Amino acid sequence: MGRREKPARREPKFDVEGPKKDLRIDPRDRLPGTDEDMARTKTRARKKPAASEKAEAAPARPPRKAARGRRRSLPARLAYWSLVLCLWGAIGVIGLFVFVAAHLPPIQSLEVPKRPPSIQIAGTDGRILAVRGDSGVSAKVKDLPKYVPQAFIAIEDRRFNSHFGVDPIGIARAAVANVMRRGVSQGGSTLTQQLAKNLFLTQERTFSRKLQEVVLALWLEQKFTKNEILDLYLNRVYFGAGAYGVEAAAQRYFGKHARDMSLSEAAMVAGLVRSPSRLAPTRNPNGAQRRAQVVLAAMADAGFITDKAAATAMAQPAHALKQTSNGSINYVADWIMDVLDDLVGRVDDDIVVETSIDPAMQLFAEQTINEELAAKGAKFGVEQGALIAMTPDGAVRAMIGGKSYAESQFNRAVAAKRQPGSAFKPFVYLAALERGLTPDTIREDKPISIKGWKPENYTREYYGQVSLTQALAMSLNTVSVRLTMEVGPSVVTRTAHRLGIASKLEPNASIALGTSEVSPLELTAAFAPFANNGLAATPHVVESVRGKDGKVRYRRRPQVLGQVVDMRYVGMMNAMMQETLLMGTGRKAELSGRPAAGKTGTSQDFRDGWFVGYTAQLVTGVWLGNDDSSPTKKMTGGGLPAEIWGRFMKNAHRNIPVAGLPGLYGGYTSSVPSQQGYGQPPQGQQPYGQPQQQGPNPFPTPLQSNESPGMVYQDRPVPPGSIPNGGRSAAVASPTRNDGMDSWLLDRLLGPRR
């Protein structure tokens, strides 16, 4: 069957010579296709009418007048939608305020809070030393010169007398200023809003807190008159330096009542509201005066004073009273506030706290620390210091928590824990005495190695055969380590805890050199039993608390905590530590003509310097160092700390009768201690001081020895990696009957042993 031949393709012919309209393809000339193609073709034909059709349809366009009418309706539509948006915005704002108000207490139950109680802190002479809480004093607007409230209105809220609690103009002005300066340079809060924040809210800077402030400001304006709001404001706002209220600020800075302030003084006080801590004239007098000039200019601009009066006040700026101290009493006040709740519970009313602080002694301590650090601090590379002075029964007479309370409120006397170095050694020697040794017991000063740890003496010299008295006075490290290993490190730590150390102590060989950290307060208190015939002593500062009506809410009663050191060991320790001041490392602390004892201490790399010592009337500890624990310039406890201790103690003992240390008569001890002076020797007896047996020279010539490379200074041992607890040496005599606190505790629990 033959193949069917395909018909030849017919090409369309175009008459190029004809009119252009004949060039258009007629749909009938297309090849047959699908129905869809045909429908698409018809649609395109409808969408693209011929030019003639367009020309015919042109007259059907709307007139230009109608188009102009539609353009004029656009502003109307914009106005309409703007109105809608404003309406919804108003609804949203109202809803937000309702939400904020719902999270506040019911308005009808809101009351202006009672002012905080005034807590006055008095010294031993009854004089008020510090005030915490509210000052307890107030001023009425009607009693003040007009320029006092006007100064606050001019600088803080110029439209105070006309607004309803919120100042929209002020808010808008502040917003524009902040946008122009690209930051928060002005605030829009009114005096009423500031009062609402101080009375009811926290200081957090959040949008919700700001809305609550607005709601409360509106309520205050409805409930109180403008003068009443001003009264509340001027007596509640903070002015720096612990002063709340304009009356307290006037007394604190100028030593006068608010009603007696001059125009320049009123302007300075009003200027403090913006930043009371930074602008306080006691801390930043130049900044306070510059701010006062801004206030005076604002008062003149508002018409409250004339330009001449403003110029006169600027020419005669206010000056704060010169401070008589660096505010060290505030360290004591902060400590009292920490313990007050435990003594009397919640304080709702004004109270007076009577303390054991001696104002004169506190001033001596502050002056001594500040002057010595100013003169020698740079030389020794030391910036901070602390001092604690207490009676042998623990009553704190003076406390210095740092060089300047204005610069740092951290109380180093109470809260800082540092390595005591050799100031810890008395607990080592006491543990040895309680286990049969005596001040005349001989031990050899020579190199020692424990598990690779090789503690050395400060001078890297060794003295051979020495008595315990000589070893403690000269602070020989090797002897202290030997004694610790003989009695056991755990025995040493228990002895220290028994005398009052509360911090954790690591029971290893390095405890012999004071490597565990303690606070100045607890270390000083742990020396008190040596000054009071071996009784436990708890440091305290509050003697009584009474209300303004005279009712006593708390009174400290004498506490008998029991014997923690047998009196004959007290005598031995006092004999040994007395030599530290007479012949040993603490010679710079010697008190001419007055018996005293103590111990120096220097921590590793000279980071801390200590001197803790006592007389029969006073126990004092001094610490010097840096807050970042950086090394000093080779400051030792026998240097600047001993000098500060000696200077303070000489001033503190003026007009106080000389008294001997407990137990220093008739050999090592006496069974009947003196009732006055803790240890006046009986008639005809000489104080203990001479050894009972012939020993080496008081401070023998050092031996020649092969010394290990590297130097480990006195009081600064290298902590061992792993030190065993160690056992007692067979050479140490076992205690028989009187072995100190351990025996006392067993006798109390189990009865006397036979």
Question: Would you mind telling me the total number of residues written for the chain in this entry?
Answer: 754
Annotation says 156 is catalytic: yes
For residue 603, the surrounding DSSP H or E stretch is none
Count: domains in the chain = 1
465: its two tokens: 């055969």
Longest CA pairwise span in the chain (Å): 163
pLDDT in tens, 462-512: 999 999 999 999 999 999 999 999 999 999 999 999 999 999 999 999 999
The mean predicted confidence, pLDDT, of the chain is 80
pLDDT in tens, 510-550: 999 999 999 999 999 999 999 999 999 999 999 999 998 88
Cα 266 to Cα 154: distance, rounded to the nearest angstrom: 12
Per-residue model confidence (pLDDT) at position 6:
56
In a domain, 519, yes or no: no
Cα 278 to Cα 271: distance, rounded to the nearest angstrom: 11
Per-residue model confidence (pLDDT) at position 663:
87
pLDDT(146) > 80: yes
Contact 664, 690 (CB under 8 A): no
Cα 468 to Cα 668: distance, rounded to the nearest angstrom: 14
Residue numbers of the domain that contains 231: 133-315
Distant-in-sequence, close-in-space partners of 598: CB < 8 Å, separation ≥ 6? 527, 577, 580, 581, 586, 589, 611, 612, 613, 614, 645
Cα 603 to Cα 636: distance, rounded to the nearest angstrom: 8
- Of all residues in the chain, the percent with pLDDT exceeding 70 is 73
Per-residue model confidence (pLDDT) at position 219:
86
Cα 649 to Cα 662: distance, rounded to the nearest angstrom: 18
Q: Helix, strand, or coil here: 119? A: strand
Q: Helix, strand, or coil here: 540? A: strand
For the chain, the C-alpha Rg in angstroms (whole number) is 43
485: its two tokens: 């290993």
Q: Helix, strand, or coil here: 146? A: coil
Cα 420 to Cα 600: distance, rounded to the nearest angstrom: 9
CATH code at 168?
Answer: 1.10.3810.10
In a domain, 629, yes or no: no
In a domain, 190, yes or no: yes
Per-residue model confidence (pLDDT) at position 30:
56
Contact 263, 309 (CB under 8 A): yes
In a domain, 720, yes or no: no
Average pLDDT over residues 370-388: 96
pLDDT in tens, 633-654: 999 999 999 999 999 999 999 9
Choice among 356, 422, 475, 516 that is catalytic: 422
Residue 679 CA from chain centroid, whole number? 41
501: its two tokens: 């150390």
Per-residue model confidence (pLDDT) at position 171:
73
CA distances from 592 to 115, 148, 589, 646 (A): 53, 57, 9, 10
Residue appearing with tokens 């903070």: 238
In a domain, 64, yes or no: no
Contact 625, 609 (CB under 8 A): yes
In a domain, 10, yes or no: no
Exposed, middle or buried by CB within 10 Å (0-12, 13-18, 19+), for 611?
buried
Cα 451 to Cα 586: distance, rounded to the nearest angstrom: 32
Task: Output the CA torsion sign for 189, 191, 194, 200.
Answer: negative
In a domain, 743, yes or no: no
* Closest C-alpha among 168, 208, 213 to residue 195: 213
Contact 268, 288 (CB under 8 A): yes
In a domain, 102, yes or no: no
pLDDT in tens, 325-342: 668 999 999 999 999 988
Per-residue model confidence (pLDDT) at position 558:
85
* Closest C-alpha among 325, 303, 332 to residue 413: 332
Per-residue model confidence (pLDDT) at position 345:
87
Distant-in-sequence, close-in-space partners of 408: CB < 8 Å, separation ≥ 6? 384, 402, 627
* Closest C-alpha among 600, 588, 582, 575 to residue 661: 575
Per-residue model confidence (pLDDT) at position 37:
54
pLDDT in tens, 579-627: 999 999 999 999 988 999 999 999 999 999 999 999 999 999 999 999 9
232: its two tokens: 């509340």
Choice among 118, 156, 213, 467 that is catalytic: 156
Phi-psi region of 240 (alpha: psi -120 to 50; beta: other; left: phi over 0): left
pLDDT(50) > 70: no
Structure-model confidence comparison of residues 125 and 186, the more confident one: 125
Can you spell out the DSSP letters for 428-463? HHHHHHTTT--TT-EEEE----BTTB----TTS-B-
